[in-house]
Amino acid sequence: MGKVGLGLAVGCAVVTCAIAAALVSHRVRRRWRWGQAVTLVRELEEACDTPVGRLRQVVDAMAVEMHAGLASDGGSKLKMLLTFIDNLPDGTEEGTYYALDLGGTNFRVLRVQLGGKGSMMSHKVESQPIPQELMTGTSEELFNFIASILKRFVQSENDGFQQLPDDRKDLGFTFSFPVKQLSISSGVLIKWTKGFSIEDAVGKDIAQCLNEAMSKIGLNMRVAALVNDTVGTLALGHYNDEDTVAAVIIGTGTNACYLERTDAIIKCQGLLTNSGAMVVNMEWGNFWSSHLPRTSYDIALDDESPNRNEQGFEKMISGMYLGDIVRRVLYRMAEESDIFLDPAKNLSVPFILRTPLMANMLEDDSPDLTQVGRVLEEHLKISRVPLKVRRLVARVCDIVTRRAARLAAAGIVGMLKKTGRDGSGGVESGRTRGKPRRTVVAVEGGLYIGYTMFKQHEVLGGLDISIPNQMEPLNTKLYEKYKNLKKRKFFAEDEWNRKRDTDLRSYQSAMEDLIEEMKNANERLRAELYSFQEQYANCEKSLLEESQKSKELSDEVGRLQNLLLKKNDISDRSVMSSPCTIAGVMSTEIPKSLPRQKTPDLCDETSPIQNKGAATRTYDNHKVETKVPDCCRRNMVSSSDASEDCCNCVFQTLMKLLVGMDFSVNRQTESLCLLVVHKMSGYSFSLTWIPLEGELMYRVSSLGTLERVALDWMKEDVIFSTAMCRVFFERVSRVTGHC
């Protein structure tokens, strides 16, 4: 048993070591997965890196593409569309002006009163949603609806404006969809975007459609200028500051326009303007260059987009796509490193992470990054995110945002370089002689206005590119220092994690060796245990065989004893054939079908106490004739009140003298039954004759005061042959003699 216990102990130790090894292995795997996530982020940062050298390459590529787009239609990824606008507001304008802005699911109507000198006396704006059915209906239904809203706006009462009702009013129409401009007040729709799908409007003059709708309802107004939102931003910027020469929209989408000299527009030779310049709509969202830091996530996004291989620049810097780029990075991290405790199924849903949510996570400056955790839990259904994982998520947002902002800054500098206003002093067409002029770029859009980190990165990127050449070494040094500090801050614990992983692997290896050794010891002890078990089984089998033999031998001894007792019984009868042998002698007449049983004779036929008659009784369905003395027969047939006569029976008196007990016959049973009582101790029992077996059955009624000294067999039912009567009463007398 000692070896068995040792085997169990070793088994438990092996199980414990296995559990410990599993925990260590799980921890090592988690560390390895965390290392995988950190590696992915590091690879993303390297792929999105925008050092000054690369940004300058993007600037040069932008300028080259602008030249190509101005030379011919289709000669460049940049469309370089003419707007036919050669004069921009300068703040001297006076009077009441109306404007209509249609660029999405809502359109806005504006009325403004200008007082000259750049002052705005009053203005009123009304926004109106466009019903869904009109976005897919006909052009007539859409422009009729817009004209009716515009008429109601113009005719609104108590507006505080002074106007002559019969004067025709000019309307500025901002239409933010792709249009081929024909003149300052007309343009043909190229295609719909942003959920609109009105097929009969494609190829039509949008301004003419609106003029017809206004004329139909009696609104005395005409489209004086058809522009897009970028040109509108340039006009507003120039109204506030006449040094504004370019405008950029960075919102859901992105675009840029600038003021170009007419002699530089080669594809329209002979074009004359009053100012010698014209606003050019670049449509720079379609810009592309091999110098752009494109990642596998950008490629996957482009492949799954409806406009594959188009708007490449827009897909890297605009608000519509930045959030989804971050989502793709997080989804790959979740798949390859499993850093999120909860399943990240929602990360597989395209565009579920919108750019405003990404901005909220990046601008979270709380110690435990509460906002990052809230966005992950509420919008991506990822809860219980550890702090270090939240920091990693914020880092991914920063990498994607920083690349977008610096690329936007490079685009702006490229546009300025084309006009000779980048401060580099290069020989660009249209540059001014002498000291560089002050240059203002108007920037608009939800991403730029509402995203502080984007604005900061863009400003830093612009400074990196446009700083004078003599400051370039210092700038490069500062930039490299800034980049190294950012890396050191984020990956400070990376080396410590590697060292810890190495230690854990060493510990795991030692644990595995120990487990292997314990397994070998366990197997050896198991073999010994199996050997002991086999020996035990053989011994048990031998013991069972010996027990069987002993039982057979005991049965044989019992059979021989019974034969001996029967032999003694026969010899005893010859001696005990007197009336005092037992209380009655039964001479039995048994049917032939029953075996003949030996029954003791109570009296011999020649006894002087022989009775004159015989009594017949039935025992166990057998008719038995008994010859008993008159006194005993009288007791057997008398009523219960003849108990006194029973006491005078000579045989009962003789038995009482012999064994010291009172005997009586139980007449309530079918079989012959003697009731025996030891009055001194209260001990009583019954002896019932079993005719078929020729035996007596002993059954105790009460042990009385012999409870303590009675033998075990006296407390149980016992069946014995008549030959054992003498032995039986001798043993009973020994016990009752102690009373």
Q: How far apart are CA 315 and CA 351, in angstroms?
A: 13
Lowest mean pLDDT among 189-193, 239-243, 371-375: 189-193
Question: Helix axis angle, 2-47 relative to 387-418, nearest 10°?
Answer: 10
Q: How far apart are CA 147 and CA 221, in angstroms?
A: 10
Average pLDDT value for residue range 247-276: 85
Cβ–Cβ < 8 Å for 198, 136? yes
Average pLDDT value for residue range 615-630: 47
Alpha helices in 134-272 (DSSP H): 139-154, 206-216, 229-240
Cβ–Cβ < 8 Å for 194, 206? no
Higher pLDDT, 404 or 663: 404
Look up tokens 């002991």; give the residue. Answer: 532
302 included as an active-site residue: no
Quote the pLDDT of residue 86: 87
Instruction: Using the predicted structure, report yes or no on whether residue 486 has a pLDDT greater than 90.
Output: no
Quote the pLDDT of residue 681: 85
Mean per-residue pLDDT of the chain:
78
Q: Which of 187, 148, 202 is nearest to 281 (CA)?
A: 187
Q: How far apart are CA 246 and CA 237, in angstroms?
A: 9
Amino acid symbol at 28: V
Quote the pLDDT of residue 186: 92
pLDDT band at 715 (very low <50, low <70, confident <90, very high): confident
Quote the pLDDT of residue 606: 37
Quote the pLDDT of residue 394: 92
User: How many Å separate Cα 560 from the centre of its chain?
Assistant: 81
Is 126 exposed, middle or buried, given 0-12, 13-18 or 19+ CB atoms closer than 10 A?
middle
Instruction: Using the predicted structure, report yes or no on whether residue 689 has a pLDDT greater than 80.
Output: yes
Instruction: Using the predicted structure, report yes or no on whether residue 643 has a pLDDT greater than 50.
Output: no
Report the DSSP pairing between strands 169-175 and 221-227: parallel
Q: How far apart are CA 156 and CA 358, in angstroms?
A: 42
pLDDT band at 616 (very low <50, low <70, confident <90, very high): very low
Average pLDDT value for residue range 496-512: 75
Quote the pLDDT of residue 436: 63
Quote the pLDDT of residue 471: 40
Lowest mean pLDDT among 208-222, 479-493, 496-510: 479-493
* CB neighbour burial string for 523-551, b if at least 16 within 10 angstroms, e if fewer: eebeeeeeeeeeeeeeeeeeeeeeeeeee
Instruction: Using the predicted structure, report yes or no on whether residue 615 has a pLDDT greater than 60.
Output: no
Quote the pLDDT of residue 445: 86
Phi/psi of residue 14, each to 5°?
-65, -45
Of these residues, 27, 42, 108, 332, which one is catalytic?
Answer: 108
Question: Helix axis angle, 370-380 relative to 355-362, nearest 10°?
Answer: 150
Which tens digit of pLDDT belongs to each residue from 424-462?
A: 654 344 444 555 678 899 998 888 888 877 877 666 566
Quote the pLDDT of residue 70: 92
229 included as an active-site residue: yes
Quote the pLDDT of residue 414: 93
Q: How far apart are CA 453 and CA 250, in angstroms?
A: 14
Look up tokens 């009523």; give the residue. Answer: 639
Quote the DSSP letter at residue 253. S
Share of the chain above pLDDT 90, in %: 28
Share of the chain above pLDDT 70, in %: 74
Look up tokens 């169990």; give the residue. Answer: 8
Quote the pLDDT of residue 289: 93
Which tens digit of pLDDT belongs to each residue from 358-382?
A: 999 988 889 899 999 999 999 988 8
- 3-state class (DSSP) for residue 162: coil
Which tens digit of pLDDT belongs to each residue from 42-66?
A: 999 999 999 989 999 999 999 999 9
End-to-end CA distance of the chain, in Å? 51
Which tens digit of pLDDT belongs to each residue from 2-57?
A: 555 555 555 565 555 556 555 555 455 566 678 888 889 999 999 999 998 999 99
Distances in Å between the alpha carbon of 512 and those of 32, 331, 499, 508, 516?
A: 18, 34, 20, 6, 6
- DSSP element (H, E) containing 527: helix 492-575
User: Both tokens of residue 37?
Assistant: 């996530």
Non-local (6+) Cβ contacts of 201 within 8 A are: 138, 139, 142, 189, 192, 209
Half-sphere exposure of 709 (CA within 13 A, CB side): 14
- 3-state class (DSSP) for residue 248: strand
- 3-state class (DSSP) for residue 132: helix
User: Both tokens of residue 80?
Assistant: 């370089």
Half-sphere exposure of 254 (CA within 13 A, CB side): 28
Instruction: Using the predicted structure, report yes or no on whether residue 475 has a pLDDT greater than 80.
Output: no
Average pLDDT value for residue range 74-88: 89
Cβ–Cβ < 8 Å for 654, 578? no
User: Both tokens of residue 38?
Assistant: 């950190």
Instruction: Using the predicted structure, report yes or no on whether residue 639 has a pLDDT greater than 60.
Output: no
Q: For 71-118, where are the E strands, in sequence order?
A: 81-82, 94-102, 106-116
Of these residues, 111, 185, 205, 229, which one is catalytic?
Answer: 229
Phi/psi of residue 243, each to 5°?
-85, 0
pLDDT band at 338 (very low <50, low <70, confident <90, very high): confident
DSSP one-letter string for 463-513: HHHHS-GGGHHHHHHHHHHHHHHHHHHHSHHHHHHHHHHHHHHHHHHHHHH
Q: For 417-542, where are the E strands, in sequence order?
A: 440-444
Q: How far apart are CA 336 and CA 33, in angstroms?
A: 7
Instruction: Using the predicted structure, report yes or no on whether residue 574 has a pLDDT greater than 80.
Output: no
Of these residues, 139, 176, 337, 681, which one is catalytic?
Answer: 176
Quote the pLDDT of residue 506: 79
Q: How far apart are CA 317 and CA 314, in angstroms?
A: 5
Quote the pLDDT of residue 65: 94
176 included as an active-site residue: yes
Quote the pLDDT of residue 465: 57
Rg (alpha carbons) of the chain, rounded to whole number: 59
Q: How far apart are CA 626 and CA 601, in angstroms?
A: 9
Quote the pLDDT of residue 480: 64
Quote the pLDDT of residue 608: 37
Give the bridge partners for 96, in sequence order: 113
Lowest mean pLDDT among 58-62, 542-546, 630-634: 630-634
